[in-house]
Amino acid sequence: MLGLQSLSGPLIREIVNMTLLERGLTSYRNVCTRVGTPVFDAHLIDVGRGFEAHDNANLQENAETSHKKKADKISKEQYLLQLPPELADHHLRGDLHIHDLEYFGTRPFCIDGSTAIPVRMENRIRSIRPDELPIEGDEWRPEDLSALTPKGWRQVSKVTRRRVNPGEMLRIRTSGGRSLTVTDEHRIPVRTGGEMTIRRADEVRAGDALYRVSGTDTIRGEAVGAIDLVRELPASVPAHLLENVYVRGAREIFIDAVRTGRATSYTEISQALGVKHQKQWYTRGTMPVTLFGAFCSRYSVEDYAGVTIGVTGSEHELPALLTLRPELIRLLGFFVAEGNYNVSLEAGQYNLAITKNRQAPAILAPARTTLNTYATIAGGTPDTTTIYGIEVEHNRALQVYFGGKPAYLLFRYVFGIPEGAAGKRLPWIVYHLDDVLLHEFLSALFTGDGSAYYRPEKSDCIVNYTTISPTLRQELSLLLTTLGMNPQIVELYGEEDRPTLYRLQLNGRKNIETFARYATFLDERQDHIDGFLSTVKERQVREREETVVEISPAEPTGAYVYDLFLDGDGTEESHTFFASDGLLIHNCQDWDLRYFFYYGLMPDGNGTKASVAGPARRAEVAVLHAVKALGSAQTNFAGGQGYYNFLTFMAPFFEGMDYEEIRQLMQMFV
């Protein structure tokens, strides 16, 4: 027995924690224990011999450093205890390193993982979701990634993530049906009196006007006329799926490599590629496509016209340089709208199917010619379906079956169309089509899953596109808006076991006229468009603002939330980018010291808990404001300030001072 008359709160806590450890409840103990430091350890920090005494060259020995190190020590203990024990052990053992551990739980991360973001990467425009990026740990530093901003593409220096906390997600929905799912602390640009104001998501109110993407060609990249499958297949397809995929007809290319002296023999080529020599590859002009791609890179082969790509045991081939003919792009549009995969890797079955009754014959021919493969029509036979207990007779829908492994790899991996209706995406090539081919794609897409209805008595026409894919909804909304249309997004909620149905609606003369420039229904529905445009005159209608109609709690779609770091120029606008249905959002990591020189210190809701003060009028005050601002910013944002930014905005205060005065001010700052 301890012989105590009473138990204090801290002692009770320690007894409970010991009991939790004895029973193996480590995670419960970790959240119940205290964090802190003994008095002697705190004293050692004060005299420069304690915690991290020589770990940070940016910190000088002064009272502020002592205070910061004590706070850092407590914060690091807290976040290690909040981590899963196995991850904390990895950090302590040195198996992994959590940079800036003291800020691990306080940095704001904002975006739901399912948010579609238009980006440019390696000169290719596409839409990405943060949850599909190759993030290991809590950050990813891309070499070449740019986000779309109001002034064009801006470099993304880093993408970060953290686990989402319960109850912190909000969904903001606008009058146009657009929506954003972000954390409550995320900042949203709001239009107020013609100027941009930045507000936290939980401070946005119904009636606030948001910014949306405008009609611009920025989203469309350089037109692509052909796909280089020698490069695209190894870059996009999992390696195990390419094991039996070969190039054919490359014999003259191999001969030329030796004849021109780039290689002394075929054996040398095999050695250079790091593989066992296979004489028949060179004599027959065939080679695994992955190795052939490496061969072309090593020996500077750029022209492989006449080379084809096929699969062992199959006569179906695709040209190594696949020309994007209108028939192929039309087939692609139909597949995004009404297509699905019927694939069994174990059985070697690679079928693609498009369900479309009236267009089946028109789909059949281009599937055969453009993909050089088989194509058949199935269905149309009588069948019965039970609806609410009643048997209903109907004819089975017609399906066009086509495929083979090369066609499957092309659609699934090179064009990047996922499986399942709920996961449908716009293929990246859509952003690189000229107007003629884009017209082919959108025509097939809307013919597949769209509708058009002209009501003469009301002088209006409505064009719809319907999907259950939230990502396709975001991508198509963004694309149509940048083409000059203004779609209204309607959400139709089904029963509990059925997904939400998204409908993109276009109406009004301007929208329908613009739509007709980029798409044509391939059946009698086009008569509705033509009838409306020939009868109804254009009326002047003021463009609607994108105003907030609802802010509601939301559930995250995954375990993490994400943030993009943009290389800004100091302005608020340079830290904004378009996401989701084309709404403008703010980059969380936008810290800029110059804000304080413009506006002073004020509680602006941006995460800064600073004293209230007007803009500095004297150099001493400006320096102290800079110290206060940096200290406050360090709560949420790691790192310092740009050297030239600092000098530029301190220069007016230093004008006329001699060197010793400036030196004294800089000593005060440090």
pLDDT computed for residue 389 by the predictor: 55
H/E run at residue 21: helix 9-22
pLDDT computed for residue 636 by the predictor: 43
Task: Give the integer Cα–Cα distance in Å for 425 and 339.
Answer: 12
Task: Give the integer Cα–Cα distance in Å for 395 and 506.
Answer: 32
- Strand order across the beta sheet in which 460-467 lies: 450-455, 460-467, 501-507, 488-492
The answer to whether residues 577 and 147 touch, using CB atoms and an 8 Å cutoff, is yes
Task: Give the integer Cα–Cα distance in Å for 153 and 565.
Answer: 13
pLDDT computed for residue 639 by the predictor: 42
Burial class of residue 284, CB neighbours in 10 A (0-12, 13-18, 19+): middle
Closest CA to 616 of 563, 574, 653: 653
Closest CA to 175 of 550, 578, 580: 550
The answer to whether residues 547 and 209 touch, using CB atoms and an 8 Å cutoff, is yes
**Strand extents, DSSP E, 433-582:** 450-455, 460-467, 488-492, 501-507, 546-553, 560-566, 576-579
Give, in order, the Cα–Cα distances in Å from 534 to each of 14, 453, 459, 519, 522.
Answer: 82, 14, 11, 17, 19
The answer to whether residues 340 and 351 touch, using CB atoms and an 8 Å cutoff, is no
The residues, ordered by sequence, that sit 6+ positions from 352 with a Cβ below 8 Å of its Cβ are 335, 339, 340, 341, 342, 401, 402, 403, 407, 408, 411
The residues, ordered by sequence, that sit 6+ positions from 64 with a Cβ below 8 Å of its Cβ are 631
Task: Give the integer Cα–Cα distance in Å for 414 and 235.
Answer: 9
The residues, ordered by sequence, that sit 6+ positions from 92 with a Cβ below 8 Å of its Cβ are 80
DSSP assigned state of 110? -
Burial class of residue 576, CB neighbours in 10 A (0-12, 13-18, 19+): buried
What are the tokens at 187? 């900042």
The answer to whether residues 444 and 522 touch, using CB atoms and an 8 Å cutoff, is yes
Neighbours of 499 (CB within 10 A): 14
Residue with tokens 């301890």: 2
Task: Give the integer Cα–Cα distance in Å for 550 and 639.
Answer: 36
The answer to whether residues 591 and 581 touch, using CB atoms and an 8 Å cutoff, is no
Task: Give the integer Cα–Cα distance in Å for 506 and 454.
Answer: 12
| 668 strand-pairing partners | none
- Looking at residue 579, its amino acid is A
H/E run at residue 421: none
Which domains are present in the chain? 35-103 (no CATH), 111-213+547-586 (2.170.16.10), 226-322 (no CATH), 325-418 (3.10.28.10), 594-669 (no CATH)
Per-residue burial over 118-155, b if 16 or more Cβ lie within 10 Å, else e, is bbbeeeebbbbbbbebebeebebebeebbbbbbeebbe
pLDDT computed for residue 21 by the predictor: 84
User: For the chain, which ranges sit under pLDDT 70?
Assistant: 1-4, 50-64, 90-109, 217, 357, 380-396, 494-496, 570-571, 588-614, 628-649, 670
Q: For helices 643-654 and 619-633, give the axis angle rounded to 10 degrees.
A: 160
pLDDT computed for residue 554 by the predictor: 95
pLDDT computed for residue 74 by the predictor: 79
Task: Give the integer Cα–Cα distance in Å for 126 and 65.
Answer: 46
Closest CA to 430 of 445, 419, 420: 445
